[in-house]
Amino acid sequence: MAMSVRGEMEKLSVEQLKAVKEQTDLEVNLLQDSLNNMRTATTRLELASSALHDLSLRPTGKKMLVPLTASLYVPGTL
């Protein structure tokens, strides 16, 4: 299979090869962005899991501040 792809590539003009390279570069960039997004989501999920574990160790009925946004907290009870 690799030999047939190579043979096909050898038949392409310089302009066609440039277009193939540009398309491949775009696809690689898209895959890298997707991988970065998945890593970010994984990190956030791990942080959320850790926070839930920490909360499960606290006594029931404990008063606390619950974050609604980065700067807005409301009183709550476990």
pLDDT at 5: 76
Give me the helices (H) in 1-78, please: 2-10, 14-56
- Which of 62, 56, 59 has its CA nearest to residue 76? 62
Residues ≥6 apart with Cβ < 8 Å to 61:
77, 78
Annotated domain spans of the chain: 2-77
pLDDT at 10: 85
- Which of 20, 44, 24 has its CA nearest to residue 32? 24
pLDDT digits (tens, 9 = 90+) for 40-63: 999 999 999 998 999 889 888 989
Distance CA 65, CA 68 (A): 9
The alpha carbons of the chain give a radius of gyration, in whole angstroms, of 26
